[in-house]
Amino acid sequence: MDFLKKAVIFLLTACFYVSAEKVTAEIAALPQKIRIGLTTDFSIRCLAIPNQHDAGLSKILTLSIKKVQNDVPVTLAVVTPLSAANVMPEARAAKAHGALDHSTNYLNISWKNPESDLAGEYICEGIGVEASGKNIAFSDSIFVSYEYASTEEYVSTLFQLHKELDQSQAKLKAAYTAGNKTQSELVETQTRLSRRQLPDDCIPVVSNATGCDDPKLTVGYHILEIVPKDGLGPIKVLCHVRIQGEGWIVFQKRFDGSVDFYRNFRDYEVGFGTVSPTTEYWLGLENLRRLLVDNGDENGLRVDMTERGTAFNFTRIYPIFRVGPGDGYTLIADGYSDGGKGLSENSGAKFSTYDNDHSLGCPSSLRLAGWWFHEGCGFVNLNGLWGLASGEASMFWYEIYNHPTHSMQATEMKFRPFPSPVRV
């Protein structure tokens, strides 16, 4: 704008508003030179500064920021005591804030990623009333320029941006993966919770039952305490009563893989998991031996199995079942013709784990289980890895199909006094 026009505007303004002595305006631009493509934030601030002697007495009625376009000042934003800063459509994507409240009288307008069209002259204008009652007008202006940076600077900025982009992508990916992990952990927790055992008191211990054969026990599962005559204390057991008066003590139970069966020898001796109809467990070789002996060491073994995939059920009964004393808990399983491809083949073997190998040639790591392995490992692996469809480490019973590629989803190993009328 040339000087003459400015003077005309000033004179016109001065005709209406008597003087500008008491209040001054101050305009600032940040930055004052826009660097195209590199400046990301650009703003103009307009301040009304009351005269010191008049402090707090004059009243500012409006404050506005204008931009000179084709020699004409165009209003971009206005603030009044009653309204928040108002952005005009001419200011396009600008944001503004401001206040007129004696202590602070200001207006600020800002843009993101300014282009060359935002360069030019800006005017800050205010109108107020003096303490004496006279109207006052005041203004200030600033010229904003722009420039293009060197190619080198653009290139290095571009590289920097690429780097930041890579970093934030990596962060995003990590967060996503962490989110996935959290999600899968949640699902797992939920699954675990849903298959959690009922607290033992939900299935009352029938303390006055004399054993699993007690006719008081109805068909189904019962937890009860058996006190063997050896005086070594009670053992909590799960009875599977198939026919009232004929209960089996379940010493191995699996169905969902929630309990790890690849354990050391001590674990297999004392037992692990929780004895209940809704959890997986191993009753323990010590308990097993004590209970078998307590029955006069005349017991039969029953194995109930459900095949993975087909849900077919299989039962095998060995009328002779013994487990030797603690020097190796030698297995005797006999009386059922499994063709040497079932448990009879393990008969005579001591119990082995990865930390106590009695097998003389079958490392427990091959079958991922603790079992009565002999040197050739054998044809049964019910303590193997739950969830495997087939293979050396899966839960298999070779004799059923005379084929190794079938594994079990659920198993129960149980015993009761034999001989007794076997009604299956």
Ligand X SMILES: *[C@@H]1O[C@H](CO)[C@@H](O)[C@H](O)[C@H]1NC(C)=O
Please report whether residue 190 would count as binding ligand X according to CB under 6 A.
no
To ligand X, the closest distance from the beta carbon of 178 in angstroms equals 9
Of 208-227, which residues contact ligand X (CB under 6 A)? 208
Q: Exactly one of 7, 14, 30, 84 binds ligand X (CB under 6 A); which one? A: 30
Nearer to ligand X, 265 or 396 (CB): 396
To ligand X, the closest distance from the beta carbon of 208 in angstroms equals 4
To ligand X, the closest distance from the beta carbon of 91 in angstroms equals 14
To ligand X, the closest distance from the beta carbon of 29 in angstroms equals 6
To ligand X, the closest distance from the beta carbon of 123 in angstroms equals 15
Q: Exactly one of 105, 108, 407, 411 binds ligand X (CB under 6 A); which one? A: 108
Tell me the number of residues near ligand X by CB under 6 A: 15
Of 357-396, which residues contact ligand X (CB under 6 A)? none
To ligand X, the closest distance from the beta carbon of 356 in angstroms equals 35
Q: Exactly one of 13, 24, 43, 258 binds ligand X (CB under 6 A); which one? A: 43
The stretch near ligand X (CB under 6 A) out of 260-268, 311-319, 329-337, 390-398 is 311-319
Of 232-251, which residues contact ligand X (CB under 6 A)? none
Stretch 192-211: interaction string toward ligand X, x if CB under 6 A: --------------x-x---
Please report whether residue 110 would count as binding ligand X according to CB under 6 A.
yes
Of 162-181, which residues contact ligand X (CB under 6 A)? 176-177, 180
To ligand X, the closest distance from the beta carbon of 46 in angstroms equals 9
Please report whether residue 311 would count as binding ligand X according to CB under 6 A.
yes
The stretch near ligand X (CB under 6 A) out of 57-65, 187-195, 305-313, 377-385 is 305-313
d(CA 223, CA 37): 77
Please report whether residue 143 would count as binding ligand X according to CB under 6 A.
no
Please report whether residue 45 would count as binding ligand X according to CB under 6 A.
yes
Nearer to ligand X, 101 or 327 (CB): 101
Closest CA to 328 of 372, 282, 272, 360: 372
SS (H, E, C) the chain: CCHHHHHHHHHHHHHHCCECCCEEEEEEEECCEEEECCCCEEEEEEEEEECHHHCCCCEEEEEEEEEEECCEEEEEEEEECCEEEEECHHHCCCEEEEEECCCCEEEEEEEECCCHHHCEEEEEEEEEECCCCCEEEEEEEEEEEEEECCHHHHHHHHHHHHHHHHHHHHHHHHHHHHHHHHHHHHHHHHHHHHCCCCCHHHCCCCCCCCCCCCCCCCCEEEEEEECCCCCCCCEEEEEEEEECCEEEEEEEEECCCCCCCCCCHHHHHHCEECCCCCCCEECCHHHHHHHHHHCCCCEEEEEEEEECCCCCEEEEEEEEEEECCCCCCCEEEECCCCCCCCHHHHCCCCCEECCECCCCCCCHHHHCCCECCCCCCCCECCCCECCCCCCCCECCEHHHCCCCCCCEEEEEEEEEECCCCCCC
Q: Which residues contact 29 (CB under 8 A, 6 or more apart)?
A: 42, 43, 44, 45, 122, 142, 144
To ligand X, the closest distance from the beta carbon of 110 in angstroms equals 5
Q: Exactly one of 40, 116, 190, 313 binds ligand X (CB under 6 A); which one? A: 313
Q: Exactly one of 197, 258, 278, 306 binds ligand X (CB under 6 A); which one? A: 306
Nearer to ligand X, 156 or 313 (CB): 313
Nearer to ligand X, 169 or 365 (CB): 169
Footprint of ligand X on this chain (CB under 6 A)? 28, 30, 43, 45, 108, 110, 176-177, 180, 206, 208, 306, 311-313
